[in-house]
Amino acid sequence: MDTNTIIYIVGGVVLGVILGYIIAKSLEKGKASKIIADAESESQSILKQAKLDGESIKKDKILQAKEKFIELKAEHEKVILSRDKKMAESEKRIRDKESQISNELNKTKKSNQSLEDKIKDYDFRMEFLDKKQEEIEKAHKSQIKQLEVISALSAEEAKEQLIESLKEEAKTDAMGYIQDTVEEAKLTAQQEAKKIIINTIQRIGTEEAVDNCVSVFNIESDDVKGRIIGREGRNIRAIEAATGVEIIVDDTPEAIILSCFDSVRREIARLSLHKLVTDGRIHPARIEEIVKKTEKQIEQEIIEVGKRTVIDLGIHGLHPELIKMVGRMKYRSSYGQNLLQHSREVAKLCGVMAAELGLNPKLAKRAGLLHDIGKVPSSETDVETPHAILGMQWAEKHGEKPEVCNAIGAHHDEIEMTTLLAPIIQVCDAISGARPGARRQVLDSYIQRLKDLEDVAFGFTGVKKAYAIQAGRELRVIVESEKVTDDRAASLSFEISQKIQTDMTYPGQVKVTVIRETRAVNIAK
């Protein structure tokens, strides 16, 4: 193929391409103009619809705004009405206050006017009284001058004579008043003392138990009794040597008696026997071991008892040695009365009585608890010293206050009483110990004394009945009215009192009352 042909072909292709491009552009332009026309038409319709929607929304918003405005307006009107109502009420209250203040002002004006009138009247009366006073003074002076002329004495001389006479009269009246006051004070003091003691005893009433000097150890069978005795009595001898307690084995079934005046030793022996019987091994070596362990146990129990007692009574700061002595009181007795129980009772009595008298109740309790610690001596040499002095020495040694030491030493009059606490301890100790049933020896003598009192009365002619009352402080004698006259009743009372005074020994005093009664009886049918 030649060059021209190729050129024609290439030219034809290029021309075709150009024509195709032109045709395509023209077609695309027509299509684009159509699309634009459609878009314009659609936009016009959208704008119209938007305008319609905007008008609708606008109308809705306007309606909502109007409704909101109406609601706000109604609320605002309510608020305004409420404020108007409150303002009206406030104005009314203000008017009422103004009216009330106006009334008060009127009353005040009237009161001021009345007060001014009274002041004027008072001033007038004062002036009148001043004038009268001057006139009275002038008349008084005139009368004094006349009296001086009549009596031939000056006013000073008359005054001195009057004062002297009044002095003598006042002295006489004062002496009589003092005598009456002293008598009344004695009577009142005696009554108050009795009242305090009786109230104290009633408030601290406790049961009393009399301790014995023996203990009974119960056993299950006679076979156990034989094992306790041992071969040829060696076990009993070992127990007695280790504890210091006498063991009595007799025909009493299922019982062994432990006898000793020392309650601590007796308790050690009882507990040791109980442990030996429970363990089953009973021989001299084992006995000594058990007794030593039991002694340590009892020693610890003594300390615990002392601590509990001190805590129960509310006593603080007591020396450990004194606490130990208090615990040892549990295993001591005085005339059959347990010493710890007696000391606790005395402490409570002292506390109540001290409180009634306005003294320190804690100090009184302390002295009451410790007053008999001298009865639990720690060595044989201490036995020779009176227990009150020994207790005082121990209290001083362990730092107790002088008041407490003096009360302990003086409660049996071994030393002089220097404080009010000492007689309280003495009285409370006597109350606790002398109570019927508290001590074996006191109970027996108490019953015998009452019987002797009644027998003295029955020894006189004409006595029908006799009663010893008030713990033997009063004897009431009922006589036969046919045999004893009124005059004879008076002399009989004196004779009985004299016989009691000469023939009997008794604490305090005994009042003898003779009662003679005459009855005239008739029966109406």
Q: Is the pLDDT of residue 150 over 70?
A: no
Using an 8 Å Cβ cutoff, are 407 and 367 in contact? yes
Tell me the CATH number at 496. Answer: 3.30.300.30
Report the relative pairing of strands 255-259 and 214-218 from DSSP bridges.
antiparallel
Confidence of residue 208 (pLDDT cuts 50, 70, 90): very low
Which among 438, 456, 472 is the end of a domain? Answer: 438
**Per the domain annotation, does 127 fall within a domain?**
no
Does residue 452 sit in helix, strand or coil?
helix
Run of H or E residues at 248: strand 246-248
Tell me the CATH number at 295. Answer: 3.30.1370.10
Cα–Cα–Cα angle for 198, 201, 207, nearest 5°?
150
Strands (E), 276-403: 333-334, 337-338
Q: Is the pLDDT of residue 250 over 80?
A: no
The per-residue pLDDT for range 470-485, each reduced to its tens digit, is 777 789 999 988 888 8
Which among 412, 438, 464 is the end of a domain? Answer: 438
Higher pLDDT, 489 or 378: 489
* SS3 labels along 453-521: HHHHHHCCCCEEEEEEECCCCEEEEEECCCCCCHHHHHHHHHHHHHHHHHHCCCCCCCEEEEEECCCCC
Domain count, the chain: 3
Tell me the CATH number at 327. Answer: 1.10.3210.10
**Per the domain annotation, does 200 fall within a domain?**
no
The per-residue pLDDT for range 483-517, each reduced to its tens digit, is 888 888 888 898 898 888 888 876 667 889 999 98
* Cα distances (Å, whole numbers) of residue 362 to 49, 80, 274, 359, 369: 109, 78, 41, 9, 11
* SS3 labels along 22-45: HHHHHHHHHHHHHHHHHHHHHHHH
232: left (phi over 0), alpha (psi -120 to 50) or beta: left
**Shared domain check, 431 and 482:** no
**Per the domain annotation, does 221 fall within a domain?**
yes
Cα(372)–Cα(347) distance, integer angstroms: 11
**Shared domain check, 276 and 329:** no
Cα(7)–Cα(1) distance, integer angstroms: 11
**Per the domain annotation, does 523 fall within a domain?**
no
**Shared domain check, 450 and 427:** no
**Shared domain check, 461 and 383:** no
Cα(301)–Cα(331) distance, integer angstroms: 11
- Render 136-202 in DSSP notation, one character per residue: HHHHHHHHHHHHHHHHS--HHHHHHHHHHHHHHHHHHHHHHHHHHHHHHHHHHHHHHHHHHHHHHHH
Q: Which two tokens stand for residue 457?
A: 């009365």
**Shared domain check, 398 and 379:** yes
Report the relative pairing of strands 333-334 and 337-338 from DSSP bridges.
antiparallel
**pTM for this structure?**
0.45
Give the torsion through C-alpha atoms of 447, 448, 453, 455, to 10 deg.
Answer: 120
Main-chain phi, psi angles of 383, to 5 degrees: -65, -30
Which among 281, 313, 345 is the end of a domain? Answer: 313
Cα(97)–Cα(416) distance, integer angstroms: 83
**Per the domain annotation, does 73 fall within a domain?**
no
**Shared domain check, 464 and 428:** no
Cα–Cα–Cα angle for 44, 46, 51, nearest 5°?
95
**Shared domain check, 241 and 304:** yes
**Shared domain check, 481 and 391:** no
Using an 8 Å Cβ cutoff, are 352 and 204 in contact? yes
The per-residue pLDDT for range 388-441, each reduced to its tens digit, is 888 888 888 888 888 889 988 888 878 888 888 888 888 888 777 666 555 544
Cα(287)–Cα(242) distance, integer angstroms: 8
pLDDT for position 267: 79
Q: Which domain holds residue 403?
A: 319-438
**Per the domain annotation, does 338 fall within a domain?**
yes
Cα(339)–Cα(145) distance, integer angstroms: 87
Q: Is the pLDDT of residue 211 over 50?
A: no
pLDDT for position 12: 78
pLDDT for position 508: 64
**Shared domain check, 219 and 302:** yes
**Shared domain check, 383 and 282:** no
CB under 8 Å to 274, separation ≥6 — which residues? 217
**Shared domain check, 414 and 329:** yes
Run of H or E residues at 345: helix 339-356
**Shared domain check, 335 and 433:** yes
